[in-house]
Amino acid sequence: MRLRAPREVPPKTSGHVVVAIHDPIAAGLVRRLRTEGIACFVVEPDPARAVALLEAGTASVTGENDDRATYERMRVGAARMVLANGTDAANTNITLTVREVHPQVPVVALADEEDSVDILELSGATAVLPLKKQLGEYLANRVHAGIVEAHLLGVLGDLRIAELLARDTSFVGRTLRETRLREVTGLSVVGLWERGQLRPAYPDARVAPGSVVVLSGTEAQLLEFSRSLPGRSGGSGPVLLLGTGKVGRAAARALKGRGIPVHAIDRDPGVLALVAPDVTQVFEGNAADRRVLERAGLDQASSVLLTTNDDATNIYLAVYCRRLNPEVRIVSRVTHERNVEAIHRAGADFALSYTTLGVEGIVSRLHGHEPLLLGEAVKLFSVEVPQAMAGRPLRESGIGSRTGLSVMAIRHDGHFVVDLNPDTVLPRGGEMLMLGSLQQRQIFNETFL
């Protein structure tokens, strides 16, 4: 096996992505890039493991990830991107090593500590992703705290994507047709989130109290719509923060910036002291103790935010909090993608994994746009209009019925068309922005490409 391990990428390889270390983010990135037809190679020091990765479908090259010769054999000068995804110290070394080989190749580095961002940028990283900080902020945006507002999820040129928790709005109980949202505001409804599932935005789809409406439109349309919302609704309670590590502290800071009260629970008084400046109250004790939860105000809480780095603990706490307060909104961190379904079954309304955040952040840098995260299993794909579809109306494409993908917008000549209808003509040379899963994208490739 060691003799069979590849020592370099194939000759004339170009436009590929080089990943310094094989980890869950690397595995997710390989799967994502495969659907887009982009080659991805992982550096692996152990030759036997390099062969095992290759046999499992992950292209790998054996070599040390801090050795200049490794990146020369990886042809980083012709690469589309290099990902430094080790520890902060290792990533600094990797970035400096890559810069010795090629001064211009884009290098994206992951940062565990916020203080490491400047160091990695000084080392030559093109972009630095402090994922734990970003994960906390994304989770904080998903809580309900008695404030009716549309949260901006991402920006794509002139297009804005936002989401609105339907609770406390006039949309609850009505169909999308009955809301007359597009007629009144010009915004389009992309879909409806319900317990981790993105439902299609059919006109007869009914909005439930726990639904999250995903919207797309221009900045002016979204601003005008936001002004029409009631703002703060009555009876809002605190957000309970269970897990006060780096992700939890980042979430607490984000919520503090929005003026939302936060009650933090942790067994460790030292950890509570770190989060104390960013929360309203701290409660020392076991979050699985009903008395501690009641003392922290679970029965009045608007949301529970689970940010421990142990999936089993988060699943357990989701079940417990859902039983004690059936109406509370539960937002959870997930470490492993395989546990996403389990956390939703346990009662969580929204979950986001560290891996998904990392993959989407890297892919967005690869394509040159801001990250757009709707949630687990739902991705944003940009696909050139196939020749067979060009010049034909959207209704004749069969994209939705044959693949399950939802066409959100069309980009042509540098402009976005968001007000789509069945008669919208797909332009030759244009791009379709579609939402769906990796499996649905693969079906699209097999069906239309």
The verdict on 220 and 258 lying in the same domain is no
The verdict on 211 and 292 lying in the same domain is no
Please report whether residue 11 resides in a domain.
no
Please report whether residue 419 resides in a domain.
yes
Whether 392 and 426 have beta carbons less than 8 Å apart is answered as yes
Q: What is the pTM for the complete model shown? A: 0.86
Tokens of 151: 């949260």
| Residue where a domain stops, chosen among 171, 202, 231 | 231
CA distance 223 to 248: 30
CA distance 342 to 334: 10
430: domain CATH number is 3.30.70.1450
**What is the CB-side half-sphere exposure of residue 303 using CA atoms within 13 A?**
29
Please report whether residue 64 resides in a domain.
yes
Residue 155 pLDDT: 81
> Residue 420 to residues 172, 216, 265, 373, 416: CA-CA distances in angstroms?
24, 11, 47, 22, 10
Cα-atom radius of gyration of the chain, to the nearest Å? Answer: 23
| Residue where a domain stops, chosen among 231, 246, 270 | 231
The verdict on 49 and 84 lying in the same domain is yes
Domain tally, the chain = 4
CA distance 256 to 277: 10
Residue 234 pLDDT: 53
CA distance 346 to 59: 36
The verdict on 329 and 247 lying in the same domain is yes
The verdict on 346 and 272 lying in the same domain is yes
Please report whether residue 174 resides in a domain.
yes
Domain limits at 414?
378-448
Residue 168 pLDDT: 80
Please report whether residue 135 resides in a domain.
no
Please report whether residue 363 resides in a domain.
no
The verdict on 345 and 253 lying in the same domain is yes
Whether 117 and 111 have beta carbons less than 8 Å apart is answered as yes
The verdict on 91 and 202 lying in the same domain is no
Pairing of strands 415-417, 406-412: antiparallel
The verdict on 196 and 209 lying in the same domain is yes
The verdict on 439 and 409 lying in the same domain is yes
The verdict on 68 and 25 lying in the same domain is yes
45: domain CATH number is 3.40.50.720
Residue 369 pLDDT: 76
Residue 367 pLDDT: 85
Pairing of strands 150-156, 159-165: antiparallel
Residue 376 pLDDT: 73
Please report whether residue 370 resides in a domain.
no
Tokens of 266: 């942790």
Whether 405 and 435 have beta carbons less than 8 Å apart is answered as yes
CA distance 381 to 247: 28
Residue 318 pLDDT: 96
The verdict on 287 and 308 lying in the same domain is yes
> Residue 8 to residues 43, 57, 199: CA-CA distances in angstroms?
10, 17, 45
Residue 246 pLDDT: 94
Max Cα–Cα distance, the chain, nearest Å? 69
Please report whether residue 142 resides in a domain.
no
Per-residue pLDDT of the chain (449 residues; tens, 9 = 90+): 778 899 999 999 999 999 999 999 999 999 999 988 999 999 999 999 999 999 999 999 999 999 999 999 999 999 999 999 999 999 999 999 999 999 999 999 999 999 999 999 999 999 999 999 999 999 998 888 777 888 888 887 778 888 888 888 889 999 999 999 888 888 888 888 877 677 778 789 899 887 889 898 888 899 889 888 876 655 568 999 999 999 999 999 999 998 899 999 999 999 999 999 999 999 999 999 999 999 999 999 999 999 999 999 999 999 999 999 998 999 999 988 889 889 999 999 889 999 999 999 999 999 887 777 777 777 888 899 999 899 999 989 989 888 888 888 888 888 878 777 888 999 999 999 888 888 889 899 999 98
The verdict on 109 and 163 lying in the same domain is no
